[in-house]
Amino acid sequence: MRTIPALAPSALATALLLGPAGPAAAAQNVTASTGELKRLSIEELMDIEVTSVSRTPETLSSAAAAISVVTNEDIHRSGATTLPEALRGVPGLHVARRNSNSWAVSSRGFSSINSEKLLVLSDTRSIYTPLFSGVQWDVQDYLLQDIERIEVIRGPGASLWGSNAVNGVINITTKHARNTQGTLLSGTLGTEEGSAAVRSGGTFGESGFFRVFGQYSDRGETFHPGTTRSDDWHIGHAGFRADWDAGDSDTMTLQGDVYSAKIGQLAPAVNIIGRVGPTGNLEVEASGGNVLGRWRRQLSSGSDLQVRAYFDSTHRDDPSFHDDLGTFDLEMQHRYVPSARHEIVWGLNYRYTDNTNRGKLIFAVAPEDSQDQLFSGFAQDQIALSDALRFLTGTLGGTVIFGGQSIGFRPMQVWVGTRDGDGMPVELLEPWEVERNDFLARFVARHGSGPHHMTFKVKSLDDALERVRTAGWTPVNIDVSDPEWKEAFLMPKEAHGTVVQLAESHGHPDGRAEMLDHVATNGPNMHPRWWTDPAPPAGAPARLRRVVLRTPVLADAVAFFGEMLEGVVERESAERVDLVWPRGARIGLERRSDVAPGVDRLEVEGLDAEHAVIGTRFVPI
């Protein structure tokens, strides 16, 4: 017989249920208060909420991408007055100012005014223009106090966000109208630039919030002795946002902006050798507006549907061309969470663009008018490794030997030991439609996270049950329907604070070395495989030596595990008895009357320090 400690599925479920409240609240507080930000630890700072990586809210520390977050406090402290300047401090992002009104913003070393491989989003609305395959930074005049955060992904994101997201994604997220209540007056004055802004926020109905704002900026020209032309620019910008609840399960957002600008040029935007371009003072007249609506419905605790639509219109009268672009974009996204660590996100997108471009003097576009339709879709299936699995396979160097799916849970067994069989296995149980398993659901509700059961393999379950009943104990949940795996359980009141599983199995390698050789050659047994392969361990594997249990009456515990379950006394004292089984599994029984009986810790050889993982202590020996 051998002992297999199992970690409770409730640990993963409980941690995940508590997670959204904690990180989400932390993210809101981080952007709200300087004092709170300074008091946050490194771990809490990594719990800032981001959405650009997987299209769903997650903590910065768990996002599977190279991502940086610029908070509103970061923008305020930087002294930036324009959006490109606010991006200067982002690692891996290159921001170069060409003149008073022109920037090159790029990622991964590809620096150009035309950064067609970098996708820039404003509340998920693309501000990329096909006019020159880039972003017109001179008309992105945000009221910086209204920006909640800027998420910058350094690396490809095209599979979720579509075209242009090759080298990176910049997603600008503005604040919920709830967080911009009251009146704000803001102004700057200097020798080179000045601005003034006003914002007012209020409420409507029972759960509605709104804000309206207006801003005007006047920025001077750069010193350029080679020309008498000026590149000064002036822009006015006004907009609104409203957020409200449309029922218990529905939330709505409606927002819009309009702007008008006059932008000076030092040189024509288009030059063709051999042709005379525009002369005299060069000035661009630009204007535009957009409106965006978003509806989100919570279908269930693990499912939500989101529909977002926007219309964006831009007008640009340049000395070299005249361009009008209208864009309508409709997107549907569905998120489904079948289990605590499993998330599926999929969606469809439709985009229609109507573009008119007429050249002046030196070039022309054929055809001048074009209409394009783009249909796209995306899907992401994300299965997150639990902290316990990372610990067992990474820190301890364990090997996954089995994984599957059962009624109410998904088990995974990890061997913590050497390839020659020196060690013990640990089983992780992931919740999976736990309401279908009454026994497991009751245990989760009563005990929460921590050790769940210990498995003792027996040659004959019928013989074991006869011994148990003769001793006066009552086995429960007897299942002999599968000839390859028969099982029964003893409850914690009879098994000294832990659940004991008696199991008769067939069709599996008996020896530990044979089992590990089988896994090394064929991979873990899986029915089905639901996890992602963990990273290989950094060093030599540790060895799980024994499971230590607390008991108020040492003699009774020795009788149960020794006489009933055939453990052999390895060493004993007045306060502790260690038992061993023929295949090397070990249990330590300690006399403790100050706490409830049950599993106290797992003792590990080769571990450098004590670790606590989902309610279980792993202690070095």
pLDDT reading at 42 higher than 80: no
Cβ atoms of residues 199 and 213 within 8 Å: yes
Architecture in CATH for domain 3-11+385-530+540-620: Roll (3.10)
Cβ atoms of residues 6 and 427 within 8 Å: yes
Structure-model confidence comparison of residues 59 and 100, the more confident one: 100
- Predicted local distance difference test score (pLDDT) of residue 49: 60
- 243, β-bridge pairs: 209, 253
pLDDT reading at 396 higher than 70: yes
Q: What percent of the chain has pLDDT over 70?
A: 79
Structure-model confidence comparison of residues 426 and 44, the more confident one: 426
CA distances from 132 to 115, 136, 323 (A): 9, 9, 11
Structure-model confidence comparison of residues 411 and 487, the more confident one: 487
State the chain's mean pLDDT as an integer: 80
- Kindly tell me the burial class for residue 332, based on how many C-beta atoms sit within 10 Å of its own C-beta (0-12, 13-18, 19 or more): middle
**Where exactly are the structural domains of the chain?**
3-11+385-530+540-620, 48-266+281-383
pLDDT reading at 240 higher than 80: yes
pLDDT reading at 10 higher than 80: no
- Predicted local distance difference test score (pLDDT) of residue 44: 46
- Predicted local distance difference test score (pLDDT) of residue 275: 78
pLDDT category at 270 given cuts 50, 70, 90 is confident
State how far the Cα of 72 lies from the Cα of 148, in Å rounded to an integer. 5
Q: Coil, strand, or helix at residue 278?
A: coil
* Span 317-335, average pLDDT: 93
> What is the 3-state composition of the chain as percent helix, strand, coil, each rounded to the nearest 5?
20, 50, 35
Q: What single DSSP character describes residue 176?
A: P
pLDDT reading at 439 higher than 80: no
State how far the Cα of 595 lies from the Cα of 613, in Å rounded to an integer. 20
Most confident of 53-62, 120-129, 422-431, 509-518: 120-129
Per residue in 150-185, pLDDT (tens digit) is 988 877 655 667 667 677 888 899 999 999 999 999
Q: What are phi and psi of 310, to 5 degrees?
A: -150, 155
Fold matches, 3-11+385-530+540-620 and 48-266+281-383: no
Per residue in 573-597, pLDDT (tens digit) is 999 999 998 878 899 999 998 888 9
* Span 434-456, average pLDDT: 70
pLDDT reading at 613 higher than 60: yes
Cβ atoms of residues 515 and 508 within 8 Å: yes
State how far the Cα of 77 lies from the Cα of 97, in Å rounded to an integer. 20
pLDDT category at 450 given cuts 50, 70, 90 is confident
* Span 500-523, average pLDDT: 72
pLDDT reading at 16 higher than 80: no
pLDDT reading at 24 higher than 80: no
* Span 444-449, average pLDDT: 65
pLDDT reading at 560 higher than 50: yes
* Span 66-84, average pLDDT: 87
Residue from 399, 545, 428, 514 nearest 11 by CA: 428
**CATH code given to domain 48-266+281-383:** 2.170.130.10
* Strands, E assignment, 266-341: 282-300, 303-318, 321-339
Per residue in 89-104, pLDDT (tens digit) is 888 888 888 888 888 8
pLDDT reading at 533 higher than 60: no
* Span 4-25, average pLDDT: 25
Q: Coil, strand, or helix at residue 487?
A: strand
**599 Cβ contact partners less than 8 Å away, ≥ 6 residues apart:** 5, 450, 451, 454, 497, 498, 547, 548, 549, 550, 616
- Predicted local distance difference test score (pLDDT) of residue 531: 56
- Predicted local distance difference test score (pLDDT) of residue 201: 96
Whether the model pTM is above 0.75:
no
